Structure 1
Amino acid sequence: MNIRTIFLIPISLIIFGCSNVANEHSTNESQIIVTAEHHHNEESIGLNNGNKWKVDTNMMTHIRNMEMDINTLEVKNTKEYAELAIKFEHNIELLTSNCTMEGQAHDELHKWLLPYIDLSSEFSECKTLDKYAEIFQKIKSSFITFNTYFE
């Protein structure tokens, strides 16, 4: 199974598995269009009246697992980066299949999650140490953003 296919599965789960996908419409075509527009707009994340958004515990577990994997990576060579990409894939699958959030918190989380999934996909396709290191830094920055807006 190719890497792109592997990452399309979690994205599909996000699009169709979450209970509150961007103004559900009666046809699947409308759902796909609305969700794709939501994803590509990459709106900025906002706070919840000055407070961080609450992420459900079962979902937060998988997010924290990915963050811990990033923070504990010591040797940074292509083998370790490739193993990390597999861990990201696994946790993203678990995260998206356990999506239970609704409402504005759900929508705000998607503003962070969808670009993160894109970064993870790009990370898994890296071939050189320099490219791995570049995307790894972007992923680390993504978690700084996550921790700014979510708890």
Structure 2
Amino acid sequence: MKKTVMMLMLTGLLWACNSNPSPGNDTPTASDVHEHEEATLTLNNGQKWKADAATNENVVAMRTIVQNFSAEPHTGLSDYRILDGDLQKGLDKMIQDCKMQGPDHDALHLWLEPLLKGVSELKKAGDIASAEKTFHAIDERLGLYTQYFE
């Protein structure tokens, strides 16, 4: 059920992103990303992309979840299941609060999609080693946010 709700929210968000195309804009759109998997996140002509306050706050909240998790030892998959639930709630809130549009929003999707995939993979992890590896990838992805957004 959660997966269905998340996919519906993501679909709605992507639809909203693409409903107001900007003429003459050469920046990749969210639909371009889906058509061309090799699309990568880059700076905006050497500058960071502009994110809205809600997105920045939601990223900080998710970083806090990860930092708190890192501060404790973890001995079972149940710890990672709790983390997955917390991260999923953070992603759901980020998607719900999203009001960004245009090229900055399209760039956000390039950053966000691997994070969504990582949280989904964390939920499916069958052992501690794979959960830990996925956790580190999520942590790394969250850390990239400040390199590309302000």
TM-score by length of 2: 0.80
The aligned residue for residue 112 of structure 1 is: 111
Describe how 1:70-109 pairs up with structure 2 within 5 A.
70-73=66-69, 74-77=72-75, 78-109=77-108
- Code of the aligned partner of 1:68: T
Contact 2:119-2:138 at 8 Å conserved across structures:
yes
Does 1:7 find its partner at 2:3?
yes
Contact 1:52-1:148 at 8 Å conserved across structures:
yes
**Given the superposition, is the C-alpha separation of residues 42 and 8 from structure 1 closer, same or farther in structure 2, using an over 3 Å criterion?**
farther
1:7 to partner: Cα distance: 3.0
1:35 to partner: Cα distance: 5.8
Distance 1:97 1:82 in 2: 22
Distance 1:102 1:47 in 2: 17
Does 1:20 find its partner at 2:51?
no
Distance 1:145 1:118 in 2: 15
- Code of the aligned partner of 2:8: S
- Of 29, 33, 45, which residue of structure 1 is paired with 2:41? 45
Contact 2:41-2:111 at 8 Å conserved across structures:
yes
Distance 2:137 2:109 in 1: 17
| Structure 1 residue runs without a partner (length 5+) | 25-33
* SS of equivalent to 2:41: coil
TM-score by length of 1: 0.79
Moved over 6 A (4+): none
| Structure 2 residue runs without a partner (length 5+) | 22-28
Q: CA RMSD in A?
A: 2.3
Q: Among the aligned pairs, what percent are the same residue?
A: 24
* SS of equivalent to 1:20: helix
